[in-house]
Structure 1
Amino acid sequence: MIGKEWVLTEATTPTATTPPAAPIRKMPHREDIHGLRGLGIVLVVAYHLWTNGRVSGGVDVFLIISAYLMTASMVRKGRAFRLITFLIQRFRRLVPQAAIVIAATLAVGWFFLPPSRQPVLLQHAQSSLFYVENWALIEQTINYTAVDPGRVSPFQHFWSLSVQGQVFVIWPLVFLLGVFVAAALKARLRIVLAVLFGGVTVASFAYAQWALHVDRSAAYFDTWARFWEFSLAGLLALVPRMTMPRRVAIPLGWAGLGAVLATGFLVGRDPFPGPATLFPALGAAAVMVADLHSTDRRDAAYWLSRRPVTFIANRAYALYLWHWPVYAYWMSLTEGHSDRLSVGGSVIVIGVSLILADLSTRLVERRFHRMEVLASKRGALSAIAVFVIIVVGLVEGMTRVLDSDVARTQAGNNPGARVLTPGATPEQASATPTSPSTTPVRGVAPGDSVIGGDWPHPAARCEGLDPMPPEFPTGNCYEVRPEGEPTRTVVLVGDSHSWQWSTVLVPMAVERGWHLIMPNHPRCRVTLENPWSDATCLEYSRAVVDYIVATRPDQVVTIGSRAQAVGPELEVETYAEAIRPVSDAGITVVNIRDNPRWTFAMPECVQRWGVNSPRCTAPLADKLGDAWPPPALAEQPNVRFLDFTDQICPSGLEGNCPGVIGNVYVYMDDNHLSRTYVLSLQDVFAERWDQVVG
């Protein structure tokens, strides 16, 4: 039997021959769905704080509930549905609280985070405000040169809100397409929508499996890979509410609730949004289909309607918004480099998050949103615009301050490695090799806020070469080609540690008329099969060696060792044998020694603790070995060696390796030399090149 109060009617537009449609009925408040929302946020917070990367399924529960209620509302309205009204009212409820959290997160970051993290903070704030944070995170995961690609953003949790915001625009358009098709075919709207939603579900689910195969991290944030969760809930919303026998409904409700609770334990390490996502999605669907009552202790709905759960459910949106920045800042400011939250930290993070969530719920949801002026479209649009303008203005103002600081720094005395050169000018010598500071450092070139993006400037893309150098999807090929006949051809190969030396090789090539070719591949050096290199790297290695032997350049430049953040310096895995065909062919191989690596971002460390802090330095003996070149390479013919360790760690083997030399950051992150510092090595590099290579 269909419960009368649950029937979802299709409204029709009044005509001259039909009476006006009855007022559209609202779906009565369902305590089981409301409690499920509260349970979902509890799972999200708990898993974020304590499980170190395991997926709880709570976000998927949110998506299912949101899509179910939205679709049910649209179906009830039928052809009376109005897109603009829907969007204005939906974002009127979402934007104010989100904008308040974004503004507060920016303010805390401005005062407590080091400058190197602030540009990324501003970027993610803007992406979150305009509901594209998921795409910003995807760009960060696939872009090797992204600033701090491994750094967790205080806005990272906005990815799911961004997905929802995008679907809130797209899904009504899908619904209206169904309305149009149903009218054109004179078919029942529910049947047309069922076919449409079913097709979307299958297509999106198939796409999700493909996306997971290509890039698991990117697929997790991909709107199109998540779209099937909304369409699946949309299909559920098309089913009229019915009274199910309790001997069936009670076990179904408990099975659904159990699936939601067990998701993190059973499939929390599986790829999402793959088949594992069906666990929380179908679990939430089962609870909603069971449609149980909150007065019977035997029902799952009874326990979902208890006060502790409903207290959280009433604050679910605000708690989701607040808990992640509170957690991220607490870890950044108090827990050092650890990724584990202590017991005391857990109490503080949860307590502060709940207080902030309660305040913003009371002041915004229960007071602001009930203001009479917001009931009109004009009032709601004005409210949205005001909050957006406040955050955009805040971002713009902070950006201008950072830009001003960078300009002032770059206009200062920043000799970098030139202070280590005998005969340095008095102005250069006035910038001490290492800032004698154990307090936070500011005003270091190229600028405290831009150092995280101080990569080499790319040259022109390789074009018209015959044969063309190997190029792979994650790599690039750049070149410097003289106008006339080149004086020599030099090929720079390998990973980003090779590419960082393009900063000095490019101007040398321009000045000396070289043809410089640079086919690089991130995280891959020339190698044979070994436990650390994947199939793409091995393919790149074989292809680039074949290319070099076939084209016979004058010199090949690469990195000939591998420093480690923890542990001794290593010879590059199987590098000696992999590069042997090149040296045996009579081509000169120039090996540059690797630079020290760290377990932390060096610029951020010196900005927080100072150059001489034990947190931000270590003896050279702990970073690099005392033997160079490696024996396996020293025996090969046509191999030359360059070592700039004395320019990076100028105190020698028993001294410390600093993060700042000559008022220039030596590193841009935890392992790459900054472009600005390498540029200051230009004269030394050219001199040693001429001595060793000629």
Structure 2
Amino acid sequence: MQPSAAGFRPEIHGLRGVAILLVVAYHLWTAGRVSGGVDVFLFISAFLMTASFVRKGTAFRLLDFLVQRFRRLVPLAAIVVAATTAVGWVVLPPTRYEGLLNHARASLIYRENWRLIADEANYMVADPQRLNPFQHFWSLSLQGQLFVLLPLVFVAAAALERHRGIPIRRTLAVVLGLATVASFAWAVHRVEVDPAAAYFETWARAWEFTAAGLVALLPTLRMPAALARALSWAGVALLLATGLLWGRGAFPAWAALPPLAAAALVILSGPRSDDAGHAAWWLSRRPVTFVANRAYSLYLWHWPVYVFTVVLTSNGDHRTGPVDSLTILALSFVLADLSTRLVERRFHRLDLLRSKRYAATAIVAFTLMATSVLGGVAALVEADDRATAALAPEQRPGARALTPGPDAAVTPAPALPTAPSPTPGRGIAPGDRAIALDWPQDLPPCEEGVPGHPARPDLGWCGVLEPEGTPTRVVAVVGDSHAFQWLTTLIPLAEERGWRLAAYGRAACRVGSPNPDPGCTEYTDEAIAWLLETRPDQVISTGSSTRADGAEHDDWGWAEAIAPVAHAGIAVVNVRDNPRWAFDMPECIQRYGTDDPRCSARRADKLGEAWPTGGLADLPNQYYLDFSDWFCPPTKVSICPGVIGNTYVYMDSNHLSRAYLESMGDVFAQAWDEAMG
């Protein structure tokens, strides 16, 4: 039997400490890199769980295991969820309240990873400017789900040995082996198609658990001391190098192999904590085990401390300076130490918790405590929305507050009264909290087998609006969220005029754009093929691209990609991109007020003097819609504000709000008719 199955191995515990330090360090001092520490966490948990089951054999009791496991996890997790929710209500701007509550609930019931996937899939939610203080709960949720699923395999294996005489090890080897191959293959596929979702997905991560179970089934490996030392240090070195090799987008497929191999090498090299030449000796030293003893608490606390520090000290920049980072680290350690002493150890030592009844009661009690805090914050949030809800339509005209000026330009209408409020930003439609959820209107999803359905719907999102009778024309929308946001103005027009409106898009993937995501390249090919096959009357997408630094350009391959469609006689309607910001615009307004210069910019700093159409000018069947004057009204000192007509123009750092787009309905219809003749 693997020696780890016989008892406590301090070097494995120490490896957990190294893993958590890597996780925290990478969160504080790197961007877009993955340390591999979470993967090691998952691997160690599954290894120890499988080893424990093999040791117990047919005596394994599922209920006992679940109660024992979750009594260690739930109390502190519930405290952190409650504390983070309460502090978030005080520290975060109202735009984040709804997300705060949604992610708190998901974290409490071990579904945060799936909540994050849902947010990633929604092209309007996945805004990198909005740090989520519960995001780190994704790995705990994944762990909790597999803590329920994997023991079911143990129960089945024990039953087969009792009733059929099939050895437990044989059953586990077959089941875990097949599961590892299937899950890894799925992970490779998902990373290619949708890497953002794959990173959090249970089925794409399951192989890390099952592979650890296979390692736990290996017999004792006896090897020369020199070889054991070499393997142990190779494992440590491989773990430390993981973050230098790949970014987040490559996990959890091939990129997850190095950290898992690192953990396996340390484990298989044996428990040689008496050999100073072996990594196990160093991993068993007190400084390392001190961190390991607080690993769970440190993991829980460090991320919300980091998020709240960023919110309080920066404006759209997630980076923290050396002093702030060290302060975050120190405060996280203090909270972790107190939590370990006052919560984890006390609940672990209380004899009454050895009873399943009392343990279950404790789990429920802490969950209810956290739920009550969430309910209280939700009630306060609802009360904050009432002032804005009282706004009359004429008090929130949005783009209708701009009146036509000379040469089709626009000029601001007189200032409008807002709902009385002592807080900056209050009284602006659709509301301080609602603006974060003010996503542009969607189409009903496509149904497979219906004519015009994309061949590869898995590469993006597909929607279609069918008229009651024969469509008067067919309009298609392709591209990313900046193209899809115009569905809010297109849908009423399509319903009024009997159009068939179809859309096929992919988040963060402009058609023809150079993109490291291989799925984006595939999407571009499929989108063009779809347009050539369905042959709509018009296809609409963004015809330029802006950046937060103000540079507007056309050099991302749209003209080259759409050329076959234009030459096929299909009208291509290009919409000029709207300004983007280096910060969350509604949050800026809520923090500083509508008139603060930090929440606006000169038009010349956000948009080019003229639309950079580039290669589009050489193509036939090109049409242009430019709404820049409705985002940056041309005045003597032309600026791009965050609020027009008591309405938020943007819902985040770069997407237009649904409320403002709805106010542009007549403007869009008029521009469409003028462009299309």
Place the TM-score, normalised by the shorter chain, in its bin. Answer: 0.7 to 0.9
Q: How far 1:460 sits from its partner (Å)?
A: 4.3
Match among 502, 514, 527 for residue 540 of structure 1: 527
Look up the equivalent residue of 2:490 and give its one-letter code.
L
Partner residue, 1:441: 425
Distance 1:154 1:338 in 2: 16
Match among 278, 290, 294 for residue 257 of structure 2: 278
Q: Deviations over 1:640-693 (max 9, x none)?
A: 654433322224373211101121101112222211112122334445555555
C-alpha change, 1:141 and 1:282, in structure 2 (3 Å) is same
Residues 305, 332 of structure 2: 8 Å contact kept:
yes
C-alpha change, 1:471 and 1:493, in structure 2 (3 Å) is farther
Partner residue, 2:477: 493
Distance 2:609 2:283 in 1: 65
Residues 611, 660 of structure 1: 8 Å contact kept:
yes
- Rg: which structure is higher? 1
Q: Report SS of the residue matched to 2:639.
A: coil
Distance 1:299 1:574 in 2: 54
C-alpha change, 1:578 and 1:234, in structure 2 (3 Å) is closer
2:463 aligned with 1:477: yes
Q: Which sits farther off after the overlay, 256-265 or 614-623?
A: 256-265
Match among 552, 558, 561 for residue 569 of structure 1: 552
Count of aligned pairs: 661
Distance 1:34 1:97 in 2: 20
Q: Which sits farther off after the overlay, 680-689 or 93-102?
A: 680-689
Residues 250, 292 of structure 1: 8 Å contact kept:
no
Distance 1:537 1:392 in 2: 45
Distance 2:73 2:576 in 1: 53
Q: Report SS of the residue matched to 2:475.
A: strand
Partner residue, 2:401: 419
Q: How far 1:187 sits from its partner (Å)?
A: 3.0
C-alpha change, 1:432 and 1:544, in structure 2 (3 Å) is farther
Q: Report SS of the residue matched to 2:501.
A: strand
Match among 7, 23, 26 for residue 47 of structure 1: 26
TM-score, normalising length: structure 2: 0.87
The runs of 5 or more residues in structure 1 that have no matched partner are 9-26
Q: How far 1:51 sits from its partner (Å)?
A: 2.6
2:495 aligned with 1:510: yes
Look up the equivalent residue of 2:384 and give its one-letter code.
D
Distance 2:422 2:665 in 1: 30
Q: How far 1:109 sits from its partner (Å)?
A: 1.2
Q: Which sits farther off after the overlay, 138-147 or 601-610?
A: 138-147
1:114-125 correspondence to structure 2 within 5 Å? 114-125=93-104
Distance 2:343 2:100 in 1: 25
Partner residue, 1:358: 337
Higher relative contact order (CA 8 A, sep 6+): 2
Look up the equivalent residue of 1:194 and give its one-letter code.
A
Partner residue, 1:215: 194
Distance 1:304 1:525 in 2: 44
Q: How far 1:351 sits from its partner (Å)?
A: 0.4
Residues 472, 540 of structure 1: 8 Å contact kept:
no
2:374 aligned with 1:395: yes
Q: How far 1:240 sits from its partner (Å)?
A: 5.3
Q: How far 1:317 sits from its partner (Å)?
A: 0.9
Look up the equivalent residue of 2:425 and give its one-letter code.
V
1:160-171 correspondence to structure 2 within 5 Å? 160-171=139-150
Distance 2:235 2:513 in 1: 47
Distance 1:106 1:399 in 2: 10
Partner residue, 1:22: none
Distance 2:359 2:7 in 1: 25
Distance 2:180 2:672 in 1: 60
Q: Which sits farther off after the overlay, 586-595 or 101-110?
A: 586-595
2:431 aligned with 1:431: no
Residues 472, 521 of structure 1: 8 Å contact kept:
no
Q: Deviations over 1:539-598 (max 9, x none)?
A: 4235425633xx6x4x66554443333344335756667767877888766554432222
Residues 148, 452 of structure 1: 8 Å contact kept:
no
Residues 480, 515 of structure 1: 8 Å contact kept:
yes
Partner residue, 1:682: 665
2:498 aligned with 1:519: no
Look up the equivalent residue of 1:508 and give its one-letter code.
L
Match among 311, 314, 322 for residue 290 of structure 2: 311
2:61 aligned with 1:82: yes
TM-score, normalising length: structure 1: 0.85
C-alpha change, 1:55 and 1:530, in structure 2 (3 Å) is closer
Distance 1:363 1:283 in 2: 33
Q: Which sits farther off after the overlay, 153-162 or 140-149?
A: 140-149
Residues 293, 302 of structure 1: 8 Å contact kept:
yes
Look up the equivalent residue of 2:643 and give its one-letter code.
V
Look up the equivalent residue of 1:64 and give its one-letter code.
F
> What is the CA RMSD across the aligned residues, in angstroms?
3.6
Residues 62, 151 of structure 2: 8 Å contact kept:
yes
Q: How far 1:310 sits from its partner (Å)?
A: 1.6
Residues 560, 592 of structure 1: 8 Å contact kept:
yes
Q: Deviations over 1:142-182 (max 9, x none)?
A: 33233536633221211221121111111111111112222
* Identity value in percent: 51
Residues 195, 249 of structure 2: 8 Å contact kept:
no
1:182-197 correspondence to structure 2 within 5 Å? 182-197=161-176
Residues 504, 527 of structure 2: 8 Å contact kept:
no
The runs of 5 or more residues in structure 2 that have no matched partner are 406-412
